[in-house]
Amino acid sequence: MEIKSYDYTHRKGIKEVTWEDFGNLARRLSESLAKEEIDMVIGIARAGLFPATAVSCMLREEMYPVRLTRRYIDQVVRKTPEWKVPLPYTEVQGKSLAIIDEIADSGITLGMVKKDALDHGARHVITASLVSHTWADPKPDYVVLETDELVIFPWDYTVYKDGKWIIHPEYEEAIRLQEEK
């Protein structure tokens, strides 16, 4: 069963995050996570790898990617995330982890990775995101910005199609919906 893209009608306004904003958000998240004395960063691919990589570099900790998604070729095709790239189980055993994504919309993805890490022997697991919506459940342990706006990150705003850069079709529709309010 194919599912349409996320329902953006309940967003309130638009928040465009620039690359400079991203750097500031990543620094603030790194400062918060430094208090946790983590051993390792787990980044949720695709877009969660941007903040996970930044934080792991800023804190000088190892970073490993995982991928679980509702999407296939940028289209939402599942109601719940499906695992594509698992945790490195031998690496997480006995470690304190920070699991990072760029945004917590429903909170389900972060929760699934946390449960899997604990089930496979992680000593301590915290979740974090640059942005979270108020309806995320579970909420990340650390969030830099909580907003119910349509959040557009710099790596997502435009895509290259047919030899030119265009506004991402999913965001084009979401922006139109916000402007009609």
Per residue, the 3-state secondary structure of the chain, as one string, reads CCCCCCCCCCCCCEEECCHHHHHHHHHHHHHHHHCCCCCEEEEEECCCHHHHHHHHHHHCCEEEEEEEECEECCEECCCCCEEEECCCHHHHCCCEEEEEEEEECCCHHHHHHHHHHHHCCCCEEEEEEEEECCCCCCCCCEEEEECCCEEECCCCCEEEECCEEEECHHHHHHHHHHHCC
Is 93 a residue whose pLDDT tops 70?
yes
Q: Tell me the per-residue pLDDT of 128-146, one tens digit each, with 9 for 90 and over.
A: 999 999 999 999 999 999 9
Reported pTM: 0.92
Domain positions in the chain are 14-179
- How deeply is 117 buried, as exposed, middle or buried, from its count of CB atoms within 10 A (0-12, 13-18, 19+)? buried
Asked if 58 and 30 count as a contact pair (C-beta separation under 8 A), the reply is yes
Residue with tokens 């940028």, as numbered in its chain = 74
Fold held by 14-179: Rossmann fold (3.40.50)
Parallel, antiparallel, or unpaired: how do β-strands 96-104 and 40-45 relate? parallel
Given a cut of 80, whether residue 8 has pLDDT beyond it is: no
Band (30; pLDDT cuts 50, 70, 90): very high
Across 82-109, average pLDDT = 96
Position 148 scores a pLDDT of: 92
Tell me the pLDDT of the chain averaged across its residues: 93
- Decide: 144 and 31 in contact? Cβ < 8 Å: no
CB 155 within 8 A of CB 102: no
